[in-house]
Structure 1
Amino acid sequence: MSAPAVAPPFTTPTRVGPVSIEPFDADRDAALLQGWLADPASAFWQMGSLSVGEVRDYVAGVVADPHQDAWLGRRDGEPVFFAETYDPARVLLTGVHDALPGDLGMHVLVAPPRGGHLPGLTDAVFTAVLRFCLGARSDGGRGALRVVVEPDVRNERVAAKNAAAGFRVLREVPLPGKRAALSVCTREDFAASPLGTGWGAEPDLAGHLRPDLADRAHRHLVAKAIAEFTHERLFLPERADGTSADGCAVHEAPVDYVLGIETGHLGRARVEYRFAARRYALEHWVIDEASLVRAAPGAGPAGTERLPVDALELVAELQPLLGVPDDLLPVYLEELSSTLAGTAAKLDRELAGESPSTAQLVSAFTSGAITSEALAGGTDPATAFQAAEAAMTEGHPGFVANNGRIGFSLSDYRAYAPERGERLRLMWLAARREHAHLALGAGQTEEGHYGAELSSAERAAFADRLTSRGLDPADYLYLPVHPWQWEHRVPITFAADVARGNLVPLGPGADEYQPQQSIRTLFNRTRPARHYVKVATAIQNMGFLRGLSPAYMRPTPAINDWVADLVTRDATLQAAGFGVLREIVSVGYTGDVYHRTPQPNPYRKMLAALWRESPLPRLAPGERVVTMASLLHRDASGEAFATGLVRASGIAPEEWLRAYLDAYLYPLVHCLLAHDLAFMPHGENLILVLRDGVVRRALMKDIGEEIAVLGTGPLPADIERVRAVAPDTEKALAVFTDVFDGVLRHLAGILTTDGVLREGRFWALVAETIDRHRAEHPGLESGVDLRAARFDHSCLNRLQLRNTLQMVNLADQSASLIYAGTMPNPVARG
């Protein structure tokens, strides 16, 4: 009979050459090991006095134990270390360490130097041993999920090596002959450690922040910044051919431009940006990002030095023209940096196939075919809706720094940013009823609301947690909070309230939610027909701390009921299919000390929530819903979602656009002219209902915080706060600024640039929509003229540049606005 096969030794490359590990032969190698143990450098092994025979017996006992093993390590064939592995649940650490499946204990002894020290040997030994312990058994490793060690706390040299290998100290424990630093190292810990470099998958520390993606992100933001700041008349680029530039010029073919910036404040005389651009109505610039060149006078072949295109440098160079206060410039730059990082991350996800392309999205909203892993899981409206929500890139297309999110860490971004498409569970608090309020919309009751939003198991668990603390559940209201808010605010900012039992943490809820583009609004993925939940998230984003005021929340359901009743009773709005997603319940906590300070402050906006209707129950078979921001989305290849929908719809572009304007513009015009009612109708606040890729109707959301009644008509006393009486020219800005300038100029630029529809025809259809409304309502008297020759040019970026911490005074938004003259109306009467 042949002898049984002997497995080859485990071998791995290291910085000092290949290292191999094989079973220890006690008879052959006992003398060698005894010499190593007797060396003073091995004192912490406490075995220096053993004879060769005793060492042999010791190792033989280890080998004979089914829960232990002994190993010999070689470099270039020469023995250089001894190692032991053991089951910590059965050997040495029984009763001391809470072992998990996959735990493996380890000891290692590096041979004392003989004939000269070899730099890096100990690092190589630790690297090899960890690779051996954590490596797959199919590769000769031990297959551990976690390595456990217990070195003497006095052994500083081993502590340093353990740290370099990724070990984390759990605690100090008493063991025979020593006090030990009980430590563990997972596969992830080792792979991320200095000694683990090159083993397994490299840790994804910030994989999206790489040069190729950063260059594309910088170019996108520089192009956008030049376009939008020029649109707001902060400067005007010149034509590269030296001819005079006209601020209102329009040309659909690209023309070369140059923007020269005097940069003496930065220690450089001048910087120039050269690019090709198309120019459309409303002083809208579409810049070819690939054409951007940044240069300064220098010693190059053309007498210039080519510089990297950098969005942050552009803002620093433009500061005197932008008027950003010195003390707020770093804050604006941080918001821009976050926007840059988010842009790079979006590109990274799409290029990796983790986010759908425009073609895949269009397929989901026309044929219903799902061809992307990002949309896998079904062709149902909820799946398509949320895939599109996570894919969007321009929720606020006019703002340059529109993804600030100051306060989010990298892990927060990955968990909670809308474009990540991840799911989360809300954390729940019990708020003492005497310090909280619950506002209920029409037809709502407290019992019915909580009974629908929380399962019976959740409600029973919450009640049990209160009663176990000696508290009466009847004395409390349930308040959901974002997990970020729970982690960063509730147990810290409101520590006193938690300690006294006015706020009682109850734990996570059962349903999973997906963040929407507004970050703090969450869509129920477990039960999509249930309500959205909007919660406070105290991060700084786009000129505001994203809190939620209990004071504002108190009348919110009543405001929504009034608007919903008006819309329901208006035959014109009903014929257009226009609707609102009501915010039906709100809850807020006001028992904290911040509500008793002399001045209002952001801390009063950190513990409130509201529930808003989902659009899904309103869909007929074959209908889909998507955020209106999707119409301004271009994917990583430059393909526009709006263009894709038009081409896939099977109808003429004019017919497609007319259907969209009938669903979006016509109802907004009617609300303004018939009721003095203005919404905030940007892309994030509209849900479009599509069938076969064509817009059929629109649903407005974000009612309670963002509608305004601009006239003197009667209002219920409890919602009087929404009144903001304005002259007719300012009323018209509800369409001119928020619709024409905020949405339609961008859509017109996309469809014209893509060759779908000439810009002149686009605005002619807008004019026809306005005229048709007037013709169909001959008895409607209003001083608002939406076909006027010009309108006041309200500038949104200027607000953020002036004060990036708070763009406007919410109590008097009209007085906070900044104008840059007047703008030619693209639908002015001929």
Structure 2
Amino acid sequence: MRTSPGITLEPLDVERDLDLLHAWVTHPRSAYWMMQGAGRDDVRAEYAGIVADPHHDAWLGRVDGRPAFLAETYDPAHSPLAGLPEVGEGDLGMHVLVAPPDGPPVSGLTTAVFDAVMAHCFADPAVQRVVVEPDIRNDGIRAKNVAAGFVELREIELPGKTAVLSVCTRADWSSSSRERQRAAYRDALPRLDTSRRSSLATGLLDELHSSTDHLTPELMDRAQRHLVAKALGELAHERLLTPTPATGAGRWRVEAGPSSYAFTARRHRLEHWVVDPASIERTRDGAPAAPDAQELVAELAPTLGIPDQLLPTYLEELASTLAAGAWKLHHRRVPVAELVDAGYQEIESAMTEGHPAFVANNGRIGFSLGDYRAYAPETGQPVRLHWLAARRSLTRLSLSADTTEAELYDGELAPDVRARFASRLAALGLAAQDYLYLPVHPWQWQHKLAITFAPDVARRDLVHLGAGDDDHRPQQSIRTFFNASRPERHYVKTALAIQNMGFVRGLSPAYMAATPAINDWVASVVRADRELQDCGFEVLRELAAIGYTGDAFHRAAGPSAYRKMIAALWRESPVPRTPDGEQLTTMAALLHRDADGDALLTAWIKASPVDAATWARAYLRAYLRPLVHCLHAYDLAFMPHGENLLLRLRDHVPVGAFMKDIGEEVAVMGELPLPTEVERIRGDFPDDVKALAIHTDVFDGVLRFVAAILDEDGVLPAGEFWAIVRATIEEHAADHPELAAAATAYDLLRPEFRHSCLNRLQLRNTLQMVDLTDQAESLIFAGTLVNPAAVQP
């Protein structure tokens, strides 16, 4: 069997291979195989028994045709591991022995052989985990195991040795996880014997070379130009820059300290700039210079108002955004033609822009390159969440009114997984009924919980139970996961202590305690409203939230990000509620252009049976009209940007929408009676700020981009699009005369509205853009914008 270039495995022939076997397993380097001093007959008997055993196999490995290693695979249920609570169905045991070298060690050979054996194991689709049990003293192979993604569970006693039981899931062995594995290997190198460290380190460097294949001058230039074009456009939109006309049709110029930027751009309504990346020409001190997003921000720092102490953080987020941009250009070139009829998760992972308005929108500070490849949504890789048992007395589980604890866990965890968790606790002398199960991001466990909360783990207030059995896909919000193995199961949103777009992405147990109740109330309002039902508007409830509070940070310290590191919530899946024949997509897809500049929005309209104006009316009926109705009827505002809304399409035309992310991003801005536990969402906002729930969040945050794409692609002139927006609001008012007073108060068709700026928030404080408990006071305004939906004189 060929497993990788130049490496093959074949069934062991004991008689043919006996001389090799005897030399290998009795060599001093093979001491941990416990056959030192064995004779030929001893080796023959041992491996003849393995070959005859239906539950144990031996394999001879060749490299370029030459015998080079021995591998064994076995069923743990028919081995000394039988009966251990951590071992179960879908597990495959493995041993590997690389032949002692007959000359200088070959750099990287052991890693290549180990890769090949793991690939051989996972070639069987029934295998979900590989199990190994190295001698506790064998630092070399333990480092190799950790590098491959194995998790060391605990010490066990086996015949002749104290072993470290270790497991590696299929997800952890996926090809996109290799960089994370290699980083672990690099960290393990200091534990290796000095005589082996140099050659292994050299091999590691050879492997790492290919991991940065996206960081080339050509790809980085494209990423830089894209980001500089976005920065020029969005900073001009927020009036932090003022482009002036330059020589040439459609040419503009911006002065930035010692640099000058000339470019071609088109201005659309709402002061929306579409800058052509290829047209950007930069000079620095009069000499030509390459466009550089970090240098642009540094040159403009005094104008942008970014504090000196926070400038490096913002520059790091820009660097990360550039790295992600180059990676997508190299690895994620999905033509929109392939997305027109694609499934929900294929579309989700094909998104490349991040937030349409924020310049530094892929920060993810804290992720290594390997973490990026393993956990970024655009890489499309499956992730298996880890689970903790959190002591019940120190943990808060909040549930929706129609959900019980048993129903939650029965629906999310298969019986064999629950049994495995309970066995793990029992093996530690703990009672399962004293704990709640809490899902965590694998990165969070490795980088934060096992270290920052080590005392809690040592006290058994937190118990690591290992990875679950379901494959999940990270969503655009990066810490939310869709269950790819069982799409009908809930999304899981986890705490993730990385810095991304102005926040550390934690979850507060205290803040989330009311989340299910808030979602229940919002869902009840939506379900009972005939207008919303006619528009096909629904919400995906966050119906369970869990958070651990037994740590020192909750006991002694004041409010901090450390109180938001061990929490999760479950949100309903849209899949069971999406009718057959309909396509589900993130609304962010409407703003997506592929690497060649083709827009998915345009492709959907062309594939549909209706003209562009009819398509726009259908979209606005599914999206804008329900939001207007919620505002007028209930003073209820959502945060309806592209990541927070899913569209349902039939024949490529919008027919409905799911609103999500309710608990943190919904507000009631009036005197509507609320249940006591929901009162937290009531906000006191000035009248001219209330209407920004539509003007800023919908018009400026979404529709200005949609309108520009339609106009740029020659599909629908901007004037016609905004006339349809106006008509959608007017038609709603005509259909609901009982809401006339609210329509007058909000006055969504007023000539101008306040210009609320997002990048200004991030530039002011790159660590925390807004105070979530008082978001209105955090807003930054830059005058007013002409309302494109108003009747213009």
TM-score, scaled to structure 1: 0.75
Aligned to 1:583: 542
Deviations 1:26-75 (A, max 9, x none): xxxxxxxxxxxxxxxxxxxxxxxxxxxxxxxxxxxxxx99535xxxxxxx
Paired letter, 1:234:
L
* Aligned position for 1:626: 585
Residue type of the alignment partner of 1:440: L
1:259 maps to 2:218: no
1:184 CA drift (Å): 11
Q: Displacement, 1:171?
A: 5.4
The DSSP-based 3-state class of the residue aligned with 2:32 is: coil
Residue range with higher mean Cα deviation, 588-597 or 530-539: 588-597
Q: Is the 8 A contact 2:605 2:653 kept in 1?
A: yes
Query: Is the CA contact 1:439–1:557 (under 8 Å) kept in the aligned structure 2?
Result: yes
2:729 maps to 1:770: yes
| Cα deviation, residue 728, structure 1 | 2.7
Aligned to 1:225: 231
**1:224-262 CA distances to partner (integer Å, 9 max, x unpaired)?**
0010001001121100049xxxxxxxxxxx61101122x
Say which of 377, 396, 404 aligns to 1:445.
404
* CA separation of 1:66 and 1:616: change in aligned 2, threshold 3 A: closer
Query: What is the rounded CA distance, in whole Å, between the counterparts of 1:815 and 1:791 in structure 2?
Result: 17
**1:620, CA displacement in angstroms?**
1.3
Residue pairs, 1:805-824, within 5 angstroms: 805-824=767-786
C-alpha RMSD over aligned residues: 2.7
Pair 1:103 & 2:97 matched: yes
563-572 or 85-94, larger mean C-alpha shift: 85-94
Counterpart residue identity of residue 88, structure 1: W
The verdict on how the C-alpha distance between 1:104 and 1:608 changes in structure 2, with shifts beyond 3 A counting, is: closer
1:518: how far off? 0.3
Conserved? CA contact 1:258–1:274, under 8 Å: yes
Distance in 1 of aligned mates of 2:364 and 2:595: 22
Deviations 1:108-146 (A, max 9, x none): 56xxxxxxxxxxxxxxx7669979x98999xxxxxxxxx
The code of the aligned residue for 2:673 comes to P
Q: 1:633 to 1:87 in 2, by over 3 A?
A: farther
CA distance in 2, matches of 1:705, 1:127: 55
Distance 1:323 1:467, change over 3 A: same
Q: Match for 1:282: what amino acid?
A: L
1:272 is matched with 260
Q: Does 1:214 align with 2:220?
A: yes
Structure-1 residue corresponding to 2:155: none
Question: Which of 688, 700, 707 is residue 748 of structure 1 equivalent to?
Answer: 707
The structural deviation recorded for 1:754 is 0.7
Q: Which residue of 1 aligns with 2:533?
A: 574
The SS at the match of 2:654 is strand
Q: Is the 8 A contact 1:582 1:613 kept in 2?
A: yes
> Aligned-pair distance for 1:726?
1.9
> Are residue 804 (structure 1) and residue 766 (structure 2) matched?
yes
Question: Aligned in 2, Cα 1:92/1:554: closer, same or farther, shift over 3 Å?
Answer: same
1:90 aligns with 2:26: yes
2:318 aligned with 1:318, yes or no?
Answer: no
- Residue equivalent to 1:359: 337
Counterparts of 2:737 and 2:19 in 1: how far apart (Å)?
Answer: 92
After TM superposition, the structure 1 = structure 2 runs for residues 677-826 of structure 1, keeping only pairs within 5 Å, are 677-780=636-739, 781-782=741-742, 783-826=745-788
1:512 and 2:490 aligned: no
Partner deviation per Cα, 1:189-235 (whole Å, 9 max, x = no partner): 77545xxx6xxx88422111111110110000000001000100112
1:654-684: per-residue Cα shift (whole Å, max 9, x none)?
Answer: 0011100000000000001110000000000
**Paired AA for residue 267 in structure 2:** R
Tell me which residue corresponds to 1:827.
789
Residue 395 and residue 134 in structure 1: after superposition, are their counterparts in 2 closer, same or farther (change >3 A)? closer
Tell me how far 1:829 sits from its aligned partner.
2.9
Gaps of 5+ in 1: 1-11, 13-63, 69-84, 110-124, 138-152, 154-165, 173-179, 243-253, 264-269, 298-303, 365-383
Call closer, same or farther: CA 1:469–1:96 in 2, change over 3 Å: closer
For residues 207-606 of structure 1, what are the structure 2 equivalents within 5 Å? 207-241=213-247, 255-261=250-256, 263=257, 270-297=258-285, 304-351=286-333, 356-364=334-342, 384-606=343-565
Deviation at 1:92, TM superposition (A): 3.1
Decide whether the 8 Å contact of 2:512 with 2:545 is kept in 1. yes
In the aligned structure 2, how far is the partner of 1:136 from the partner of 1:233? 54
Q: How many residue pairs are counted as aligned between the two chains? A: 647
- Equivalent-residue separation in structure 2 for 1:363 and 1:504 (angstroms): 43
Change (3 A) 1:103 1:725: same
In 2: Cα distance, 1:494 partner to 1:574 partner? 46
Aligned equivalents of 1:482, 1:820: Cα separation in 2: 39
Q: Give yes or no for contact 1:170–1:182 (8 Å, CA) kept in 2.
A: no
- Paired residues for 1:138-217 under 5 Å: 192-193=204-205, 203-217=209-223
Per-residue CA distance 1:318-348 (angstroms, 9 max, x = gap): 1111011000000000011111111111111
Q: Is contact 2:108–2:202 with CA below 8 Å preserved after alignment?
A: no
Q: CA deviation at 1:468?
A: 1.7
Partner amino acid for 2:337?
A: A
Secondary structure of residue in 2 paired with 1:548: coil
Paired residue type of 1:256? R
Q: Post-superposition shift, 1:91? A: 2.9
- What is the rounded CA distance, in whole Å, between the counterparts of 1:126 and 1:492 in structure 2? 36
Question: Going by fraction, where is helix more abundant, 1 or 2?
Answer: 2
Give SS of 1:278's match.
strand
The correspondence for 1:641, drawn from 576, 597, 600, is 600
**Hey, what's the Cα distance between the residues in 2 that align with 1:171 and 1:730?**
62
- For 2:336, give the aligned amino acid: T
Do the aligned partners of 1:328 and 1:804 also contact (CA within 8 Å) in 2? yes
Instruction: Indicate the structure (1 or 2) with the bigger Cα radius of gyration.
Output: 1
Secondary structure of 1:204's counterpart equals helix
Structure 1 residues 495 and 639: CA distance shift in structure 2, 3 A: same
State the SS of the aligned residue for 1:558.
Answer: helix
> For residues 683 and 528 of structure 1, what CA distance do their matches in structure 2 show?
21
Hey, what's the Cα distance between the residues in 2 that align with 1:130 and 1:734? 60
Runs of 4+ in 1 over 4 A off after TM superposition: 97-100, 125-131, 133-137, 166-172, 180-186, 189-193
What's the CA shift for 1:622?
0.6
Cα distance between partner residues in 2 of 1:128 and 1:440: 55
**Cα separation, partners in 2 of 1:129 and 1:496, compared to 1, 3 Å:** closer
- Assess if the C-alpha contact under 8 Å between 1:335 and 1:406 holds in 2: yes
Distance 2:443 2:17 in 1: 49
Percent identity at matched positions? 55
Instruction: Kindly provide the amino acid, as one letter, of the partner of residue 508 in structure 1.
Output: A
Instruction: Indicate the SS of the match to 1:489.
Output: helix
Distance of 1:702 and 1:128 partners within structure 2: 50
- In structure 1, distance between residues paired with 2:607 and 2:522: 35
Q: Residue 332 of structure 2: SS of its match in structure 1?
A: helix
Residue 394 (structure 1) shift = 2.7
Match of 1:67 in 2: 19
**How far, CA to CA, are the matches of 1:469 and 1:107 in structure 2?**
42
Distance 2:108 2:688 in 1: 77
Residues of 2 paired with 1:135 and 1:94: CA distance?
Answer: 16
How far apart, in 2, do the equivalents of 1:731 and 1:128 lie? 65
| 1:338–1:405 contact (8 Å) kept in structure 2 | yes
Residues 105 and 199 in structure 2, CA contact (< 8 A), matched pair in contact too: no
